[in-house]
Amino acid sequence: MNFDVLVIGSGAAGLSLALSLPKHLSIAVLSKGEIKEGSTWYAQGGIAAVLDDQDSIEAHVEDTLAAGGGLCHRDAVEFTVKNSKAAIEWLIDLGVDFTKEEQGYHLTREGGHSHRRIIHSADATGKAVHRSLGSAALAAENISIFANHVALDLCKEASADTQRYRCSGAYVFNREKDCVERFSAKTVVLATGGASKVYLYTSNPDGASGDGIAMAWRAGCRVANMEFNQFHPTCLYHPKAKSYLVTEALRGEGAKLRLPDGSRFMHNFHELAELAPRDVVARAIDHEMKRLGSDCVYLDISHKPREFLEQHFPTAMKRCAQFGIDIANEGIPVVPAAHYTCGGIMVDDQGRTDLDGLYAIGECSFTGLHGANRMASNSLLECIVYAHSAALDITSCIDELPEPQEAAPWDDSQVTDSDEDVVISHNWDELRRFMWDYVGIVRTHKRLERATHRIKLLQKEIEEYYSHYKVSNDLIELRNLAVVAELIIRSASQRKESRGLHYSLDYPSASAIAQDTILMPSNFSGQRQIVAID
């Protein structure tokens, strides 16, 4: 398993990078499940870009800065927006079928944007983008895609001339063969997506367990702004519904949020009631659920005629009907759900991390673009722009890099047979529940202290399991989620203010100075200057 480049992740970021590298390089792309199971496939929105004369780069930059609560890095925002048109043109050349109108491509507008700049493919942009990327990758002779392969840990080796370590591959669990394999590469790229599965309720698919962030942290890379987790206000609450988002357009057409007794509550939190900003609605629902001890609230649009709903919301009607919910006659049970990880592995404009030979792109990375709150439709744009930038940097240096040294096989000599899978399942559920209750939408100092105590106990148990239990997908994800949970708790504890997506009852106001929260692992090698927060 020797390659020039190992890409861990098969979403928009990973596939775009693989397709942007020279054809003479051998590339391996790992997918945790089947290639279509990542977040990109489920993205309903579009991609923000400056594509007409009515808009401007300056306007897109200023909109992004305003949404980011003072924490966006202007240089990263400008870099991303200036490359937005080229990114879209590349996707069009690849065959992505964006929605058109008589004058050209149809552009829509979303929250936070001052212009129509969202190019989309109906209401399933992610599928259109991933379908084109996947087809091109499967057709490329130099790209090998390994489905059902889960990375466990990164491999490092010492460089004799620089006295530094560099990434040289990864240990990977082959789910089909039920064994651990070693993938060697001159360069490794993390494109593993976010970590929203650390919460009890999430809009993300099952694979969003923060694997790349956890692996990079264990390998000595810094992370930043992990306390900023974006929550979508209305996710369908049903044991079999998993991650179905109930579109915000329902509230735009008059849907009301109601408590289990049928009473409304949003007017108590914001003058715009159900049309308040997303974070306000999410906090209000969270408050009422905790106050009442209820499992959910209800989004009610039953006052609209059935014909209207069938015309405007056929997808929502069909999906809810699959779970026995007739939205023309009853409210939709909803809960807020973790939606997007704004922080991540610290990188520069080329996607380079603190570890030589290791890159990170997409949602697992921290570029400075999103700040304290991600603006709609900037995420897919970030994937494409930084994939291209990282590919250029890799291309410029990979021919000069040494071949990876032969590494030891995965050590499973201490593994013993165990029937304690129920313990892993229990701890998995416990972690996600205390993260939801103590480190969720609304936080307090006491809640964070409780979470700190619980995660320390849990991590001790998990490391014991990891030494003696047979490797499994659930164990790998539990281990990574525990790392990510610790990083989120530590970051939230350090931020003594409320800003963007981080809201603390103990510190309800924003500080005069906006600073990033940067965490440094004990094995950090010190490649770039540290910017710390008190």
- DSSP codes of every residue in 192-241: ----GGGSSSBSS-TT-S-HHHHHHHHTT--EE-TT-EEEEEEEE--TTT
Pairwise CA distance, residues 222 & 233, whole Å: 30
534 CB-contact burial (10 Å; exposed 0-12 / middle 13-18 / buried 19+) = exposed
pLDDT tens digits along 100-145: 888 888 887 776 788 889 898 876 787 889 899 999 999 999 999 9
Average pLDDT rounded to a whole number, residues 10-25: 96
Q: Among 296, 323, 339, which residue terminates a domain?
A: 339
Q: Is residue 68 part of a domain?
A: no
- Left if phi > 0, otherwise alpha if psi is -120 to 50, otherwise beta: which for 532? beta
Q: Is residue 370 part of a domain?
A: no
Tell me: pLDDT of 385 over 80: yes
The string of DSSP letters for 127-173 reads: HHHHHHHHHHHHH-TTEEEETTEEEEEEEEEEETTTTEEEEEEEEEE
Report the 10 Å Cβ neighbour count for 262. 10
Structural domain span for residue 278 = 231-339
CATH number of residue 472's parent domain: 1.20.58.100
Report the 10 Å Cβ neighbour count for 279. 17
Cβ atoms of residues 322 and 346 within 8 Å: no
Tell me: pLDDT of 534 over 60: no
Q: How many domains does the chain divide into?
A: 2
In percent, the amount of the chain with pLDDT more than 70 equals 94
Q: Is residue 374 part of a domain?
A: no
Q: Among 300, 319, 339, which residue terminates a domain?
A: 339
Q: Tell me, what DSSP letter sits at residue 412?
A: -
Pairwise CA distance, residues 129 & 384, whole Å: 11
Residue whose tokens read 């927060």: 533
The answer to which of 76-80, 145-149, 490-494, 523-527 has the lowest mean pLDDT is 523-527
pLDDT tens digits along 403-446: 888 777 777 766 666 656 788 888 989 999 999 999 999 999 99
Pairwise CA distance, residues 158 & 75, whole Å: 33
Q: Could you give the 3-state DSSP secondary structure of residue 484?
A: helix
Statement to judge: residues 243 and 335 lie in one domain: yes
CATH number of residue 323's parent domain: 3.90.700.10
Residue whose tokens read 């970030």: 382
Statement to judge: residues 329 and 239 lie in one domain: yes
Cβ atoms of residues 3 and 122 within 8 Å: no
Q: Among 339, 354, 388, which residue terminates a domain?
A: 339
Q: Is residue 504 part of a domain?
A: yes
* Amino acid identity, position 461: E
Residues that are catalytic: 278
Tell me: pLDDT of 530 over 80: no
